[in-house]
Structure 1
Amino acid sequence: MLVRDAMSTVVLTIGPTHTLRQAAQLMSARRVGAAVVLDPDTSGLGILTERDVLNAVGAGQDPDRETAHTHTTTDIVFAGPRWTLEEAAYAMSRGGFRHLIVLDGDGPVGLVSVRDIIRCWAAAPAAAPSAEAADTADAVPA
């Protein structure tokens, strides 16, 4: 299966001057875990994730004063829509992140998350758990 089959085409794009509260409100309204930050001054893309907002608030920073620019990750890995889900999962695992911006041509066409990949893999017939695995999934560790 390919990234284009799993990705969300709902791409929330915000500017670097959005506050963290504004970003969180927009992400919540669109039910997404990340926003693409488009900075027209640098002609670059970045990403602001729910974890970035959580870390800022947890550190006592004011979400009404902190801007997306300050918390945006700009050193990011982009996925192509023709990547396999295995390639995307490997990139996420190696980089320690949960979202990839999917680029095709000049701009973002989607986002793919770990949740998207798991959803696709879990729906695949070959990925169905065995009876033994299903029995142990309900077990509660002591």
Structure 2
Amino acid sequence: MQVREAMTSEVLVVGPEHTLRQAARMMSARGVGSAVVIDPDSEGIGIMTERDVLNAIGAGLDCDVERAAAHLTWEVVYAVPEWTLEEAAVAMARGGFRHLVVLDGREVAGVISVRDIMRVWAAGRMVSTG
């Protein structure tokens, strides 16, 4: 199975100037563990995860003051829609990530998470053993 079949294509995108609270509220409302951060003033695409928000809170930072740009990963490992789920899982394990941004060319096509991979693999096992 390919990444395109398991990824979430409706990606939450936040700007670098959103506060951590704003990003956390949007992530919570959408039921997602990450948000893609696109900075219109640069070429980069970053990702903010629930762990980034948790680390900021744990450090005693003010979530109404801190900006997304200061609490995300810019050195993102990207997947492509044609990767297999195994390739995505290996990239996640190697990098210690739970989310990968999926790029189709230069456009964000989706995000694939450990949860997405587990859901697909578990559904396949239930079909093959059922």
Instruction: Find the structure with the greater CA-based Rg.
Output: 1
Corresponding position: 1:98 with 2:123:
no
Give the % identical residues: 63
> Aligned-pair distance for 1:128?
6.3
Counterpart amino acid of residue 50 in structure 1: E
Q: Distance in 1 between matches of 2:107 and 2:27?
A: 20
Q: Secondary structure at the match of 2:60?
A: coil
Q: Unaligned regions of 5+ residues in structure 2, if any?
A: none
How far 1:41 sits from its partner (Å)?
1.2
Q: Which residue of 2 aligns with 1:56?
A: 56
In 2, the alpha carbon distance for the partners of 1:50 and 1:125 equals: 29
Worse-superposed segment, 111-120 or 101-110: 101-110
Give the CA RMSD over aligned residues. Answer: 1.4
Q: Match for residue 68 of structure 2? A: 68
Counterpart AA for 1:23: A
Question: Which range is displaced more, 67-76 or 118-127?
Answer: 118-127
Q: Shift in Å at residue 121 of structure 1?
A: 0.6
Unaligned 5+ runs, structure 1: 130-142
Q: Summarize the Cα distance change of 1:127–1:74 in structure 2 as closer, same or farther, 3 Å threshold.
A: farther
**1:35, 1:25 → 2: CA distance?**
11
The aligned counterpart of 1:120 is 120
* CA positional deviation for 1:106: 2.3
1:35-50 to structure 2, matched below 5 A, reads 35-50=35-50
**Runs ≥4 residues deviating over 6 A:** 126-129
Figure out how many residues of one structure are paired with residues of the other and give that number. 129
- The two structures have a TM-score, normalised by structure 1, of 0.87
